[in-house]
A and B are shown apart, each in its own frame.
Chain A
C-alpha cells in the first residue's frame, strides 16, 4: 500500500466515520457558500432589476422634431430602431390639438397617442374605468371630467376646427404637408384639375396639373411646360395671375387676377393659354379656401375612462392617434415620450446619437427622471453592496469558528499523531485534505443553493428571473476551500504548538 492510498484511506475514514461532525462542518461551509453565491448574484442583478422598477417614473427621453422638420410615425419608427429591444421599455407618440366641445362652447387640449405604449411609458396613470380599447373611445382628464360633469360611459361630441384662414390673409399659417386638390373651369367649359402638396413652410412644394380637356397646342401645354409649372414651387397661396395679355377675356381670368390682395405671390400666365392658366390659379386658390375653411369635422366619442395623475394631464383629453388622424386628416406628431432602461451615460449617448444623425429628430433627456434615477440607484447599489460585504464577512467568520471548533476537538488526535512521529507538515496535509474536500463539496452545494435563493428573491421581489453566472461556481468553490483551509490551519497550528505529552495526558 502506498502512502497516498493510506492518506486517502485516513481522510475517507475521517469523513465517513465521523459523519455527524463532518456534516456540521459541511453544513457550515455550505451555508457560507450559499450566502456568498446568493448575495453576489443579487448584488450584480439589483441595478438591472431596480432600473426596470425605476421606469415606473415614466419617460426619461423625449423625441421632438428638429427645427423646421416634421415628426412622422415613420420617422419615429426609424429612430426607435436605434435602441436595443430590451432597453426600450416603451415609446408613446403624442400629437396635441385643441378640440371644441360645441355643446359647452369650451375647447380642450386633446392628445392623440398609442394607449398600449402609454401604459408602458406612464405606468403611474390611474384610470377610473378602462383605457380605450375600441376606436372612438376617449380618456378624459379628471379636472375636465369634474368641470363638465362627464362620467365613464358618457358621450362627448368633439369638433376639429381647421385653422381658419380669413379671405385674403396671406400670412395665415398653413398646415405643413397639407394636400390640396381642386378644379376650375378652363377653355370652353373644360375642367382643369390640380393637386398640390404644401411643404414644411406652408409653401407649394409640388404641383401636378391635369389639363387634358384643353386644346393640346394651347392650354394642354400647361400640363407639361416646366418653366410654367416651376414658378408655382415655393409660392404661398393665394396667388395672383399676372402677365395677362387680354384683361377682359373672361370672368375666370379676372378672378385669377384679383383673387389675392396686392403683395401676394404672383405667377405669370402661360402665353397663349391665359384661360387655362387662370383656371389653374383659380383651382389652387379655391382648393386653399376649401381646405382652410373646410367644414369643421365633428365626431361623437364615448368616455371609456377618467384619468387621474395629479399632474397637468388631468386637464387633457386622450384619444387614439388613429382617431385623431381621422378627425384632422394629418399624419404628424409633436413629441414622442420614451422610457429607456439604461444608465444616464448611455442615455446621453443615445440622445446625442439621435440628434447628430440629423434625421429631423432631436432627443432630450428628462433630467428630473434621469438625474434622480442615477442618484437613487447609486444609493441602493451602495446599500446592497455594504450589506453584502458585512453579511459575507460575518458569515465567513461564523463558518471559520465552526470549522475551528470541529478541528479543535481533534487536538488529542493531533497529539497522538505527533507522538507516533508525524511531522507537522504531514498533519497539516491531512487536515488540509479534509478541508479542501469539505470546501469543494460545500462550495458546489452553496453555489447551487445560492443561485436558487437569488432566483427566489428575484422572482418574489422583481417578478423576473435571473441568469446563472457560470463564473460564480469556481469563485464560490475557491472561496469556500480557502476559508475551510484557513480555519483548519489556525487550530492545527495551536494544537501542534502544544507538547504532545500534555495533550496525551488529557489536559
Chain B
C-alpha cells in the first residue's frame, strides 16, 4: 500500500516532484562540480605555476662553489670539475613521484671565442629532446617548456627534430644587438676543444642574464668541450605539495625522522622528498629546491585552494538552503492531503514514512541527474580555464549523496512536524 501511495504521488504530482527533482539536481550538480574543481584545482594551478620555471636544481656533489667563487680558469678546466651523466636523466621519470616530474633539462656551458676576438658564454641544453623511457612512456623535455617566459623576438625555437639541429643556435637579444647578428647568419664559435659554424635560428628576449648568452644543443657543446655525455646541472620542474612542518624537518635531515614520519614524508610530493628521490637515482648529485619558486608555489596553491573551498562552502550552503526551502514548501503545500491521511486513521509515523520516501526517491533521481550535470560543469571549467579535463574524484559521490540526503531530510522534518501538528479537521476545512 505504501508503495502504491508513493507511486500515486510521484505520478500524480509530477509537476511538483519534478520541481523538487530539478532543484536537487541543480544543488547536486553545483556540489559535484565545485568539489571536483576544488579537489583538482591544486594540480591544475600547480601546472600553471610551472611557468615560473624549475623548482629543483640538480648539481654534482662537490662542485660549483669553487668555480662560482674563484673565477679560476676560463671554463673551470683548472679544477677537477665534477659532472652529472646525461644518460641518467631518463631515470628522473622512474622515481616514486615520477608522475609529478613535469619537465627537466640538462645544462653544460662553456666560454667560446667569437670571430671578433671577444668571448661569449654558450649554454648547451635540450630544447624539445625526445625521450623514450624504458617504461614505454615518451616525452619531450627541454627549455621550450622550461623557459615559457622567453619572447622569441625573431626567428623560431631551435627544433631538435631538425637534421641540422646540431649546427643551430639561439642567441640572447642583448648579445645579438651588440654583435648585430640576425637570424639566418652563421657565426664561427671556437670552444676549448673544438669549433662550430653555427647558424642562428632564433633570437630571444629572456629579461635576464640569459640575454647575453648563446643557447645550443647539448651535443654541440659537449663536442666543443670534449665532455661527451656530461652535464653540469639539471633543472627539474615538478608538481609539489606545499611544505608543512614535517617537510621542513625532513628537509634538514631525513635521517632524523622516525620511520613512520619518514614513510609519510617519502610518499608525499614534498619538494624535499622529490629532491631526495632524485639524489637516489642521479649518481653523485645534490638536488635542492629553488626556494623562490617552491616557496611561492606553496603560498599560491594554499591561497587558491582555500579560496575555492570557501566559495564551494558558500555555494553548498546556498544550494542546501535552496533545496530544504523547496522541500519545506512542497511538504506544507500538501497539508490537506496529510490531513486527509490522518483523518482516515494513518499514524504519524506512517505519514512521515510516505512523505519521506517520496521525497528521498525524488532526491535520488535529482542527485543522479545532478551528478552528471556537475561532471559537465567541472569539465567546462577545466577545459575553458586550464585546457585540460578535471579529474573525477570518486570520493565526491558519497560526499554529495550524503549532503543531499541530509539537506533533504533536514528540509522535510520541520515541515512534516508542522503539518502533523495541525488537526485534520482544520486542514480539511481550511479552504486550502
Contact = CB atoms under 8 A, between A and B. Distances in A.
**A touches B in complex, CB < 8 A:** yes
Interface stretch (A157-165, A296-304, A398-406, A435-443): A398-406
Contact of B23 (A50, A125, A147, A398): A398
A372 B52 contact: yes
A386 interface: yes
A256 interface: no
Nearest to B33: A390
Nearest to B373: A394
Interface in B34-76: 34, 37, 41, 45, 48-49, 51-53, 57, 64-65, 68-70
Given A379-B386, A391-B315, A462-B303, A369 B329 contact: no
Contact of B19 (A21, A125, A384, A401): A401
B319 interface: yes
Contacts of B361: none
A376 B49 contact: yes
Nearest to B288: A310
Contacts of B325: 24, 27-28, 402
A412 interface: yes
A368 B149 contact: yes
Nearest to B308: A387
**DSSP majority for the A interface?**
helix
Contacts of B22: 397, 401
B295 A56 contact: yes
A274 B304 CA distance: 79
Contacts of B131: none
B24 to A, nearest CB: 10
Interface stretch (B85-93, B183-191, B216-224, B377-385): B377-385
B321 A27 contact: yes
Interface string A113-124: 000000000111
A91 interface: no
Contacts of A391: 30, 34, 311, 314-315, 318
B329 A406 contact: yes
Given A380-B45, A382-B385, A383-B41, 4 more contacts: A386-B380, A386-B381, A387-B37, A412-B432
B289 A310 contact: yes
A34 B313 CA distance: 13
A254 interface: no
Contact of B321 (A28, A394, A397, A461): A28
B387 to A, nearest CB: 9
A434 to B, nearest CB: 15
Interface of B: 15-16, 19-20, 22-23, 26-27, 29-30, 33-34, 37, 41, 45, 48-49, 51-53, 57, 64-65, 68-70, 148-151, 205-208, 288-296, 299-300, 303-304, 306-308, 310-311, 314-315, 317-319, 321-323, 325-326, 328-330, 332-333, 377, 380-381, 384-386, 418, 432
A401 B22 CA distance: 8
Given A379-B45, A391-B315, A368 B53 contact: yes
Contacts of B45: 376, 379-380
Contact of A107 (B20, B23, B69, B317): B69
Contacts of A32: 318
27 contacts: A24-B328, A24-B329, A28-B321, A28-B322, A31-B318, A39-B311, A53-B300, A57-B293, A126-B291, A312-B68, A365-B207, A367-B150, A368-B52, A368-B207, A371-B149, A372-B149, A376-B45, A376-B51, A383-B381, A386-B380, A387-B381, A390-B380, A394-B26, A398-B26, A405-B330, A408-B19, A456-B310
A390 B32 CA distance: 12
**DSSP majority for the B interface?**
helix
A364 B173 CA distance: 13
A295 interface: no
A405 B331 CA distance: 10
Given A144-B65, A408-B16, A398 B323 contact: yes
A368 B148 CA distance: 8
Contact of B385 (A27, A365, A379, A394): A379
Contact of A382 (B16, B208, B288, B384): B384
Contacts of B418: 20
Kindly list the 3 A-B residue pairs having the minimum CB-CB distance in the complex, ordered from nearest.
Answer: A367-B207, A398-B322, A371-B149
Interface in A221-269: none
A93 B386 CA distance: 38
B329 A405 contact: yes
A461 B318 contact: no
B12 to A, nearest CB: 9
Nearest to B321: A31
B316 to A, nearest CB: 10
Contact of B64 (A54, A143, A309, A388): A143
A467 interface: no
B332 A21 contact: yes
A57 B432 CA distance: 66
A379 B48 contact: yes
A54 B69 CA distance: 32
A97 to B, nearest CB: 14
Contacts of A315: 64-65, 68-69
Contact of B291 (A106, A125, A369, A376): A125
A309 B289 CA distance: 8
A395 interface: yes
A206 to B, nearest CB: 34
A95 B386 CA distance: 42
Interface string A443-459: 00000000001001100
